[in-house]
Every structure is written in C-alpha cells, then in structure tokens.
Structure 1
C-alpha cells in the first residue's frame, strides 16, 4: 500500500491562500519565469519593470517551496521583504514550469465581516487590503484551510509519482537554473551586488547550497527540506544562516534539526535556530492566519528574517 503524502505535497490537502494584491512583475530571465518585487513598485510606469533602472547594492534571492512563484502568499511575502528592506526581491521559478500551482490560480475566501490583516506591518502600502476575512481562532489544533485547484498533472499522484517529480528537481537540474539567475543578477545590478537568500521548504536547501558554494553569504531558511548534512557542513567562515522551524515537521523532524545544529556548531558560520510551538511544516508561507499561534509564528519568522538581513547583509 502506498504511504500517504505529506500535506505539503498531497494534492488533496487544502492550503490557505492569503488575501492580497501582489504588486511585482513577472519577467523572463534566460527563459526562467521570475517574479520581481520592487520597493517602489507603485512608482513605476506601466512600461517599466523593476530592473529597468537598477540602483541597488543589495538584492534578495527568494526561493519558494513546491507551490512555486504563482502562490499568492509567496508573492505577498516577496513584496513585503522588498518594502521592508528597500531592495529588490528576485523570485525565480526553480521548477521550470512544474510547480504545484498553475499560473491562473483563483483563490477563494470564506465569507465574513471580520478581517485579519495578512501582515502586522501597518506601514505596508496595502495593509488594509491584505487580510484573511475570518475571525481569529485561539488554541485551535486544526486550521480551516481553503482549497484551490491543482494542476491536472499533479492530481492523483501517489508517493512514487511525487518521488519522480522530486527527482526531476534535484541539484543536477536546479543548480544550473539558479546559476543563470545569479548571473543575471550580477549582470543587472553589478558584479559587486550583495545577494541575500531566503528559502522556504524546497527552496531552503538551495539557499544553503548557494551559501556553501560561496555565492551568497547571508541566508534565511524556513522549515527547509531534503537537504543533507554534507551541504550544511560546507557553510564556512563569514556565512550567516538563520533557521525558522516548525514544532511538528516530518520533513524536518526535531532529530534532523538538532543534528543540523550540531553540524553548524562545527562550522565557522554565524547561525541561529528558532522553533515555533503550535506550528507545522509550511507555517511561514502557507499558514492559516486565523489560528493565533500560526499567525504569531509567521509574523515572528518574517520579522526575524528582516532583522537578519538588516544586520548582516
């Protein structure tokens, strides 16, 4: 009998979609569809895209979890990082068109008069518009998430099919995609541009790989998945890594997380590891914001990442 999939990958598992109006731009980088969030996106004319007049010494490379760059939540996060840090955020499709969500995703929301703003950042230009229309629930063991349509090729996938999909996105395939994106960043913003990296789930592994390869020095990973201890061990002197993890995570169980911390202690990297109670894998990008514990954890992880980049990038 086939084992059940983790909710992160199971097409029958509902996922919450945060309400909001992303303001970034989709462009093609060497044939790779890429979402770019710019701190002054609303000030750009209709014939500009955020890289048309680059005057930035720093950028953030945002690598998504399996849902990809068309998950509204990821786009909203990218926008807010750009706003908070006043630098561009580059979010490439590292799955080469095979992310979990299709481009034409149309999220649905529960009907309610109450609005929970999707972010605590009241300076966010869209603060009042970005909210999940549902009351806050305290001490809830389960979250009432909202279903969205999955791409046809993903439906009815069993564990074996997911493993086949995952195999198509291992380092031998993904590293060259990211190499092209990093090359474009340096060509566009200058060879001396400082690149910070943030990764969620699948993307977290590749942030660590880029750090180990000396491509970026400052990284943040949220509930990272599928990485190896050899990859962690390659982090060296001058690198800065922050980990934000879930209490319950069968992709990153506490045993692997603690082993990761042990390996980091043997490196010369500067690191931190934070675990949030009452959370499960995916909380910082797909969490149900009506659950107070999840909401506070998501906000804390976001603020922690902003602070990490401000201090070290």
Structure 2
C-alpha cells in the first residue's frame, strides 16, 4: 500500500445506530437484525471505528436487509484521523514519521490478518444462509481472497478502490464480483483494471465494473458530501453495493 493511496479523507456527520460486540475473537460494530443474510465489511486504514464506515454499515443493514459486521482487523490499533490527515493532506513530514505507514502495514500484513478475516467469514457462513463481503482500500485484497475458488465462504463480494491486490487473486475469483473503480488510483492501477476486465469475464461468474470518472482513491468511504461530484460518487457507490447485495443475498 503506497503512501498516496490514503490521501483522500473526510469526516462525515451522523450517529451510527448499531452496537459494538464481537465476531470470533475480534471486536466488531454490528448493525441490522436479519437472521438469514450477513455482510462482512473489511475496513480501510481508518479501521473499524471510522464513523463513515459505520454509517455505510447502517445503510447496508437497512437497504440490503442484512446483519452487517464491521470487524476490527487491526488488533485494537486505531490511527488518529487527524494524524492521517496531517501526514497526507497537509504534507506534515513529522506526522508522516509518526504514522510510519510501512511499519503499520507490516503489523497488519496479509499473512497476519488474512487468517482473522477467514475465521470471521467462516463463522458467519455457519450462522447465516447467505454471506457477502465488501472491502475498502486495505480491505479489498481480503475480499478477493474470500471469493477465491474452493473457499466457499461468501456468496458475493464487492470492492471499492482495493489495495494490495495481485493478479493471482483475480485469477482465482469464483463468486459474483463488483468492482468500484475511480479514475485515479495508485493501487488499482490502469494495468490492474485492464487485467480485471480481461480476466474476470472469462471466469464464468457475474461481474460488474463501475467506473467513477474524475474521482480518486478513497472516494467511496472518504468523499466529501459537500462536493457535488464527490457526493454523487458516494451515493452511486453505496447504491451499487446495495443493489449487488440485494441481488445475491436474497
């Protein structure tokens, strides 16, 4: 995950209506009451306490009629939103040193956090008839892996501006897949976008690729609702995920 991929940020207003609990050994924000359909959200660098993602979880619970789990996959570590903003958006080099993104990513690598993501999905699959997963930035690779051949853990996945994804994870996809891709993204590069659009249609799975012109990495979770173009992207991405989950979870 490059430094540039987390620059876009905005704190939404609103109060989440769910509750805090656990899934497996991980803390989780849980919202919704459906006993048949569940959605696992794999968060971005802002973590499970990020208000924007909790508000999105509430949207999915209401509009996709599911019980939604936004799980802590950073082992209790929560980065300050102000620290991230100062480091990336204001270019504060001292704050960038404090953030130490390479060390942070190392503590939460695929090898370390992947087993937790799979354990949570396994538990949900044992408790619900249908399970979907959606990942933002950091969470994208986790959803790609959950949707891989032979895993049988989720019924569909959606990813918005995913990071750390590799071609082999694309090759292995075996469940309905939605990709929400901004025009400018240092992680979902033009080459990786082209690879997805070349390979996934050959895999025999439902596939939808949504393109967001003029928007950048982070738009679906951190866009500014006071900016008309960014607000349009936020609403479109939320609605697209809702339609996707309604189609494949019910």
Normalising by structure 1, report the TM-score: 0.70
Q: Which consecutive aligned stretches of 4+ in structure 1 deviate over 2 angstroms post-superposition?
A: 28-31, 98-102, 155-161, 182-187
Alignment of 1:1-313 (within 5 A): 5-6=3-4, 8=6, 15-39=9-33, 56-101=35-80, 156-158=95-97, 161-186=100-125, 189-190=127-128, 193-212=129-148, 213-236=151-174, 239-313=175-249
Quick check: 1:222–1:284 contact (8 Å CA) kept in 2? Answer: yes
Verify the 8 A CA contact 2:28 2:71 in the aligned structure 1. yes
Relative to its length, the structure with more helix (as a share) is 2
Q: Mind listing any 5+ residue stretches in structure 2 that lack a counterpart?
A: 88-93
How far does residue 267 in structure 1 lie from its aligned partner after superposition? 1.6
Cα distance change, pair 261–158 in 1 and its aligned pair in 2 (3 A): farther
Cα 1:215–1:30 shift into 2, 3 Å: closer
* Partner Cα distance (1:230, 1:281) in 2: 22
Cα deviation code 1:251-298 (max 9, x no counterpart): 212222112211213322211111111211100110011111111111
Aligned to 1:220, the other structure's residue is in SS state strand
Q: Is the 8 A contact 2:125 2:153 kept in 1?
A: no
Question: Could you say which structure has the larger radius of gyration?
Answer: 1
Q: Count the aligned residue pairs.
A: 238
Q: Distance in 2 between matches of 1:182 and 1:205?
A: 14
Per-residue deviation, 1:167: 2.3
RMSD of aligned Cα (Å): 2.4
Aligned-partner SS, 1:207: helix
